[in-house]
């Protein structure tokens, strides 16, 4: 047996485990990362090929996961714009092996845990192929295995299946508890080879031609010549079995189903796929659920629906409560039932064991009910939980703390470290006493006006829309919209004040306006909303624009951060759908919502306010300047750029742009000396990342300038925050 001593041991290298290992390593701990597969990425890897998903769905605005998760996805967008699953594997491997504090062990399966009472002292793993057996020892362990393997072997408390409604009062829970879980899926990819391809089904293929979803054309389970890969997420089965002990049986049955479906597609004569062949078929079923470890807090469906706040919040989610029938593909029920939810917090107490003193966990094995897990289980949410527990594990290891003591003694240290590393915790601002930027006078060369004058098209009001505008003054007297009418008609609007993130419509509006519009060319009309905010700034003006097919509003794809349009629906589960355009508008008074104060307010994405400085497009040499009365000593500089967090990014989607146009690509940072002369500290070219941290030789100065030189395509510069750190 080969001993391996580390500061932190992470078991499992899906996105949760990768983020945990990288976070712990960057926080100064030596990390052993153990994975029982030859590739990294778990369900997202080339072995299983599930699309990465997270909070950026439905009506959630500016919800994309940042921190290590964003770093990986932006790397993939730049280096793998075709969405090649094998390049994704390589990128993840590169991310891990580039960290000097991580030692990676592939093809290594943990099968035993050594204990000292309620503490893990080592996990034992055998490396397939080499026949080596390792003893991984550390003061802190992180279980990102998915199946909660480490926790299970250590005797950690866990549960499986669905809770009865009486236990937590969850509205979607069954009357009585049971052992039902979400099932597993097996995916396949197709390829057009430009010539006819025959397919002879193997003997084990299941006859799928008479299945209900084919015969009755179930819209939830759609077969199509254009579908491939994760389009077939609904090829699901095994929720009535034990997804761990019956995993091989589930995989085998799913293989029979997949080849039966392909046989039907190719040979039924119902589909124009003569030139398609099977390019790839999964050999491992992707699991959605198995064991869930118990922490000091069990996250519930009600916490998600109510957006419960937690003093120990360290991560967040926003994927729908996505419940699937246990019979999977053979169920007479819809393939899924999705209750869309707003962004919610995840507490650290749900990410460590209630009875094993030194065990963290992240991924689909966290302390949550079955219904809560239906939202938290998606990979980008797992990834942000991974960064949280990796950072927490490093703090515990270096401070000789248990996870429970970390909550009571240093939770603010953990939260502020996560925020500084560009993780997002809803409602929390980044504050660092070593940051000299908030103590400086901040001046900028220009500020973008908060208005959109030039339409690229006009939108027919074929639905109700909610138009959400941040306000930084005490009163918003009026909003001007650009309209076209097809006759004599009226524009009907309800208006109200909100202190929430944009996305969902207000329940009650303060006032209603009906503005006559005559048949004419495009012209501006004034809506005298007369809204007044309370003592807190900023606030949001929410305008509900009512359906009128006789009216068109000027629109633009040039979405200024924090200004949103959502289309209302009659769907109770998805009442509003975000639109990636904005209406042309002006405000009275004009709102200086994109000023320099946003650079130091500690919020790195739009929430109630936009929280971003934006330069005027006419400013060809945008500059940000920090000045102090007394000299400060700077040794670290962090910049948080605009990477358009309102857009969903997927690891396996192709992209025609390798970087978000809004991200600053080239920039200089300068300091002044005692005589007022400027000196270049560093010059960066070719950036595509949202967050850039620069450790520099300490310098003493009264003035620092940041000079963005160019973007990846935008005509303006947007920066959410700049930190000038003395330590």
Q: Which H, E and C letters describe 629-643, residue by residue? A: EEEEEEEEEEEEECC
Integer angstrom CA distances of residue 472 from 210, 450, 509, 590: 61, 11, 20, 10
CA torsion sign for 649, 651, 655, 658 is positive
Give the whole-angstrom CA distance, residue 550 versus residue 64: 36
Q: What is the pLDDT of residue 403?
A: 98
**Cβ–Cβ under 8 Å, residues 209 and 271:** no
Predicted local distance difference test score (pLDDT) of residue 87: 98
**Residues 114-150, buried b or exposed e (16+ Cβ, 10 A)?**
eeeeeebebbbbbbeeeeeebbbbbbbbbbbbbbbbb
Which pLDDT does position 455 carry in this prediction? Answer: 96
pLDDT digits (tens, 9 = 90+) for 120-163: 999 999 999 999 999 999 999 999 999 999 999 999 999 999 99
Residue 215 scores a pLDDT above 90: no
pLDDT value of residue 217: 85
List of E strands, 435-477 = 441-444, 457-461, 465-471, 475-476
Strand-pairing partners, residue 684, are: 667
* Residue 169 predicted with pLDDT over 90: yes
**Is residue 193 classed as helix, strand or coil in its secondary structure?**
coil
pLDDT in tens, 284-330: 999 999 999 999 999 999 999 999 999 999 999 999 999 999 999 99
**Per-residue confidence at 534, pLDDT binned at 50, 70, 90?**
confident
What is the pLDDT at residue 219? 86
Calpha distance 534→473 (Å, rounded): 10
Determine the number of helices (DSSP H) and then strands (DSSP E) in the chain.
12, 40
Residue count (the chain):
727
| Percent of the chain at pLDDT exceeding 70 | 100
The pLDDT assigned to 496 comes to: 97
Q: pLDDT tens, 32-62? A: 999 999 999 999 999 999 999 999 999 999 9
- Residue 618, pLDDT > 90, answer yes
Q: Tell me how far apart the alpha carbons of residues 385 and 494 are, in angstroms, rounded to a whole number.
A: 39
Determine the average pLDDT of the residues in 503-529: 92
pLDDT of 504 > 90? The answer is: no
Closest C-alpha among 715, 653, 657 to residue 688: 657
Q: Does residue 566 register a pLDDT over 90? A: yes
Out of 2.60.40.1170, 3.20.20.70, 3.40.50.300, 3.50.50.60, the CATH code matching 2-161+289-420 is 3.50.50.60
Query: What is residue 494's predicted lDDT score, i.e. its pLDDT?
Result: 97
What span, in angstroms and rounded, lies between the C-alpha atoms of 96 and 13?
A: 10
Tell me the C-alpha distance between 682 and 696, whole Å: 9
Q: Where in the chain is the domain with CATH 3.50.50.60?
A: 2-161+289-420
Query: 240-285, pLDDT tens digit by residue?
Result: 999 999 999 999 999 999 999 999 999 999 999 999 999 999 999 9
pLDDT at 535: 83
- 609 three-class SS: coil
Q: What is the pTM (predicted TM-score) of this model?
A: 0.97
pLDDT digit string, tens, across residues 376-431: 999 999 999 999 999 999 999 999 999 999 999 999 999 999 999 999 999 999 99
Q: How far apart are CA 706 and CA 709, in angstroms?
A: 10
CATH number of 457-588: 2.60.120
Name the CA radius of gyration of the chain, rounded: 27
Q: Where in the chain is the domain with CATH 2.60.120.260?
A: 437-446+594-725
**Cβ contact 364:81 at 8 Å:** no
The owner of tokens 């926080």 is 27
> 3-state class of 204 per DSSP?
coil
Q: Is the pLDDT of residue 454 over 90?
A: yes
- How many Cα atoms within 13 Å fall on the side-chain side of residue 116? 6
Q: Where does residue 373 rank: exposed (0-12), middle (13-18), buried (19+ CB within 10 A)?
A: buried
Which DSSP category does 232 fall into? G
Strand runs (DSSP E) across 245-350, as ranges? 276-281, 292-293, 313-317, 321-323, 337-339, 344-347
Mean pLDDT of the chain: 97
Nearest to 320 by CA among 373, 273, 278, 267: 373
Say what percent of the chain tops pLDDT 90: 95
Contact 326, 183 (CB under 8 A): yes
d(CA 132, CA 128): 8
pLDDT at 536 over 90: no
SS3 call for 665: strand
Is the confidence at residue 218, as pLDDT, over 90?
no
Is the omega angle on the peptide bond into residue 589 within 30 degrees of 0, that is, cis? yes
| 437-446+594-725: CATH, from 2.60.120.260, 1.20.1250.20, 2.40.50.140, 1.10.10.10 | 2.60.120.260
512 pLDDT higher than 90: yes
The DSSP-derived string for 499-521 is: -S-SSSPPSS-SEEEEEEE-S-S
List the beta strands (DSSP E) in 548-663.
548-556, 564-568, 576-579, 582-583, 585-588, 613-614, 624-641
Q: What's the pLDDT at 51?
A: 96
pLDDT of res. 660: 98
pLDDT grade, residue 579 (50/70/90)? very high
Burial of 372 (0-12, 13-18, 19+ CB in 10 A): buried
3-state secondary structure of 664: strand
């Amino acid at each position: 047996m080969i001993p391996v001593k580390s500061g932190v041991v992470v078991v499992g290298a899906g996105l949760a485990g990768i983020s945990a290992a990288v976070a712990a390593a960057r926080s100064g701990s030596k990390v052993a990362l153990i994975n029982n597969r030859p590739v990294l990425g778990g369900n997202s890897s080339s072995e299983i090929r599930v699309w990465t998903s997270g909070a950026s769905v439905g009506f959630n605005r500016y919800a994309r996961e940042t921190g290590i998760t964003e770093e990986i996805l932006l790397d993939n967008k730049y280096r793998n714009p075709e969405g090649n699953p094998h390049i994704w594997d390589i990128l993840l491997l590169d991310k891990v092996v580039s960290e000097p504090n991580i030692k990676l062990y592939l093809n290594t399966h943990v099968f035993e845990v050594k204990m000292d009472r309620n503490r893990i002292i080592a996990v034992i793993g055998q490396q397939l192929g080499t026949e080596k057996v390792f003893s991984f020892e550390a003061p802190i362990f992180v279980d990102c295995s998915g199946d909660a393997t480490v926790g299970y072997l250590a005797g950690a408390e866990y549960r499986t299946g669905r809770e009865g409604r009486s236990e937590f009062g969850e509205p979607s829970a069954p009357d009585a508890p049971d052992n039902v879980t979400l099932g597993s899926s097996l995916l396949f990819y197709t390829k057009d080879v430009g010539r006819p391809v025959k397919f002879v089904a193997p003997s084990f293929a299941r006859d799928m031609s008479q299945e209900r979803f084919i015969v009755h054309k179930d819209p939830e389970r759609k077969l199509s010549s254009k579908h491939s890969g994760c389009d077939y997420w609904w090829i699901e089965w095994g929720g009535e079995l034990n997804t761990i002990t019956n995993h091989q049986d589930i995989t085998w049955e799913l293989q029979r189903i997949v080849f039966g479906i392909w046989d039907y597609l190719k040979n039924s004569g119902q589909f124009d796929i003569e030139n398609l062949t099977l390019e790839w078929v999964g050999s491992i079923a992707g699991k959605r659920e198995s064991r869930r470890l118990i922490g000091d807090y069990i996250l519930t469906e009600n916490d998600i629906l109510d957006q419960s706040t937690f003093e120990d919040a360290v991560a967040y989610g926003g994927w729908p409560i996505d419940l699937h029938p246990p019979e999977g593909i053979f169920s007479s029920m819809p393939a899924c039932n999705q209750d869309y939810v707003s962004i919610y917090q995840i507490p650290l107490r749900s990410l460590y064991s209630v009875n094993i003193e030194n065990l963290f966990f992240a991924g689909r094995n966290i302390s949550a009910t079955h219904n809560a897990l239906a939202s938290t289980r998606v990979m980008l949410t797992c990834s942000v939980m991974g960064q949280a527990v990796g950072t927490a594990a490093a703090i515990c290891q270096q401070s000789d703390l248990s996870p429970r003591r970390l909550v009571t003694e240093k939770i603010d240290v953990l939260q502020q470290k996560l925020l500084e590393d560009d993780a997002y915790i809803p409602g929390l601002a980044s504050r660092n006493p070593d940051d000299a930027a908030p103590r400086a006078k901040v001046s900028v060369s220009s500020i973008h006006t908060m208005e959109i004058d030039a339409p690229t098209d006009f939108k027919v009001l074929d639905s109700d829309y909610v138009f959400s505008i941040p306000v930084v003054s005490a009163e918003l007297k009026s909003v001007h919209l650009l309209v076209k009418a097809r006759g004599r008609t009226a524009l009907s609007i309800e208006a109200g004040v909100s202190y929430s993130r944009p996305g969902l419509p207000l329940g009650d509006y303060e006032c209603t306006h009906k503005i006559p519009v005559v048949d004419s060319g495009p012209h501006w009309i004034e809506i005298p909303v007369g809204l007044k905010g309370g003592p807190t700034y900023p606030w949001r003006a929410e305008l509900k624009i009512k359906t009128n097919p006789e009216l068109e509003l000027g629109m633009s794809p040039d979405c200024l951060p924090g200004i949103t349009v959502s289309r209302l629906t009659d769907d109770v589960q998805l009442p509003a759908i975000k639109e990636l355009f904005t209406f042309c508008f002006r405000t009275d008074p004009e709102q200086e919502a994109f000023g320099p104060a946003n650079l130091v307010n500690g919020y790195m994405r739009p929430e109630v306010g936009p929280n971003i400085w934006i330069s005027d497009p006419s400013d060809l040499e945008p500059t940000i300047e920090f000045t102090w009365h007394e000299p400060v000593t700077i040794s670290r500089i962090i910049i948080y750029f605009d990477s358009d967090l309102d857009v969903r990014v997927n690891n396996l989607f192709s992209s025609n742009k390798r970087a978000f146009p809004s991200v600053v690509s080239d920039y200089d940072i300068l300091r002044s000396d005692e005589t007022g002369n400027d000196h270049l500290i560093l010059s960066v070219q070719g950036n595509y990342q949202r967050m850039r941290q620069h450790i520099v030789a300490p310098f003493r100065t009264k003035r620092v300038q940041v000079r963005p030189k160019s973007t990846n395509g935008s005509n303006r510069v947007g920066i959410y925050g700049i930190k000038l750190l003395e330590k």
